[in-house]
Amino acid sequence: MYVVKSPLSDANLKTVSEALQGALVDLVDLSLVAKQIHWNVVGPRFRSVHLQLDEVVTVARSHSDTVAERAAALGVSPDGRAATVAVGSGIGVTPEGWVDDTAAVGALVDALGAVIARMRERVTSTEEADPVSQDILIAVTADLEKQRWMFQAGNG
């Protein structure tokens, strides 16, 4: 078996791997939450909310791949399995069944807020340990904050 060797020290690698793995879990869950609500949103703003939810899914999936590949490049095996995501996500409970468009927006704003708060902690924790990974986490956070703003501004 081939093993990828990290250019980081053991201490820095531990910090960065925890940040990247946590980010991966949150992003995978965010894409699932947004898709679940996407399938179940109803109400007068159905179409706009439905389409906006797909944008969140696209952003989360794209960034999850970048985060997972960064972890792999550092010699850390990324874990996006359902069981890992279920245990490690910082997103609260997703509404079940049909979701009114106003409740859908609220649920997404809350989910994005939870992920953003954790991403900001990861940005801080990786500053010294690995500025390259920090840059990735900054980009993720910026895109998630944009999505949260768009939900709040357009559907508030």
- pLDDT tens digits for range 28-84: 999 999 999 999 999 999 999 999 999 999 999 999 999 999 999 999 999 999 999
Do 131 and 8 form a contact (C-beta atoms < 8 A)?
no
Q: 8-152: which CATH number, 3.60.20.30, 1.20.1260.10, 1.10.10.1100, 3.40.50.300? A: 1.20.1260.10
Do 25 and 84 form a contact (C-beta atoms < 8 A)?
yes
Tell me the C-alpha distance between 63 and 79, whole Å. Answer: 14
Tell me the C-alpha distance between 77 and 63, whole Å. Answer: 16
> According to the model, what pLDDT value does residue 154 have?
74
Is the confidence at residue 155, as pLDDT, over 70? Answer: no
pTM assigned to the model: 0.95
Is the confidence at residue 156, as pLDDT, over 60? Answer: no
Tell me the C-alpha distance between 130 and 125, whole Å. Answer: 9
